[in-house]
Amino acid sequence: MQANVQLPLFDSHCHLNFSDFDGDRAQVLNRAKKSGISHICIPATKQQEWLPLIHESEVPSKENPVDIVMALGLHPWFISEHKPEYLEVLDKLLEQRSARVVAIGETGLDFFDHNTAAQVRDKQLALFTGHVELACLHKMPLIIHSRKSHDDILQVLRRWKPERAGIIHAFSGSEQQAMEYLKLDFKLGFGGGITYPRASKTRHLAATLPINSIVLETDAPDMPLNGYQGQRNEPGRVKLVAECLAELRGISFMEVAQATSHNCRSLFRI
Ligand SMILES: [Zn+2]
């Protein structure tokens, strides 16, 4: 392989718009490019992020070393900040969306805190269902955050059957849950989590699930890889996730890079 061949790595989940990157975003992107990342998908987490992201996307792509696409949605972590009318705003934005708005998310359910009040759960569920309805209406894929909530997520997805499915980001559920998502045509996102030897269940799934159901991600600035604990994560490290996955599956790095990138591009239709 020639040294200057562009690898096709795709970071399907990176919060590059967060202020963590304000000081050195251009360098982060240049490092990502050098590591072979050709595409990054930025999922929004709050309504205030939508317009700046859309505006940024109008920068001609030749000025960006990496192709950037985005998803628009409301993250369950910030449930107290989301107003019900934001879904109507989202509906309008999706109606007139540019080609760079490729998915709806980040949305989902987070019941990690077992003390989550029933009222908060209901609010999360209503908001998530609203996103799924929009995915059906606009025929777009979803980017879903799920913690201790896979069965609730699956229930909503089985009811609505969004035709373009989407990605379950940072998947770490059971094999049975993985198979249920695959039946609904969803892809599973694997990131830094699989670089930790103790994550044996998730590593086993990443090693054995059909490669056409897998996409790579960093979730930068969060979810540092093994060996980088305590540091800000960044999109270039999706290369290390790909190397880890290649080793786990016993296939070449290039095979992983090409297959997972193809999965993202066909899902997002780019
Ligand atoms: Zn995220």
Phi/psi at 164 (5° precision): -95, 10
Q: Rounded CA gap, 108 and 143, in Å? A: 8
Cα 13 to ligand 1 centre (Å): 6
Residue 34 lies in a domain: yes
CATH number at residue 31: 3.20.20.140
Nearest 5°: the CA angle 158, 160, 162 is 100
> What is the token pair recorded at 155?
């229930």
Within a domain: residue 123? yes
Q: State the pLDDT at residue 113.
A: 82
What pLDDT, on a 0 to 100 scale, did the predictor assign at position 166?
A: 98
Please answer whether residues 105 and 144 qualify as being in contact, where contact means their C-beta atoms are separated by less than 8 angstroms.
Answer: yes
Domain assignment present for 3: no
Q: Could you tell me the distance, in angstroms and rounded to a whole number, from the CA of residue 12 to the centre of ligand 1? A: 10
Give the DSSP H or E segment for 11.
Answer: strand 9-11
Mean pLDDT of the chain: 94
**Residues 26, 29, 30, CA angle at the centre, nearest 5°?**
85
The alpha carbon of 20 and the centre of ligand 1 are apart by a number of angstroms equal to 14
| Residue 14 in domain | yes
Has residue 4 been placed in a domain?
no
Residue 4 has what pLDDT?
44
pLDDT < 70 regions, the chain: 1-6, 59-62
Q: Which domain holds residue 210?
A: 9-268
Determine the distance separating the centroid of ligand 1 and the alpha carbon of 76, expressed in angstroms: 10
* pLDDT reported for residue 1: 44
Contacts of 91 (CB under 8 A, 6+ apart): 134, 137, 138
How many other β-carbons are positioned within 10 Å of the β-carbon of residue 186?
A: 24
Domain annotation covers residue 2: no
Q: What is the pLDDT of residue 7?
A: 75
* pLDDT at residue 6 in the model: 60
Total structural domains within the chain: 1
Q: Is 219 domain-assigned?
A: yes
Quote the strand ranges of 36-171, DSSP E: 37-43, 67-72, 101-110, 142-147, 166-169
The region that residue 121 occupies, defined by phi over 0 for left and psi between -120 and 50 for alpha, beta otherwise, is alpha
Question: What is the whole-number distance in angstroms between the Cα of residue 249 and the centre of ligand 1?
Answer: 25
If you measure from the C-alpha of residue 269 to the centroid of ligand 1, how many angstroms do you get, rounded to a whole number?
21
Amino acid at the residue 76: P
1 within a domain of the structure (yes/no):
no
Judged on CB neighbours under 10 Å (0-12, 13-18, 19+), 199 is: middle
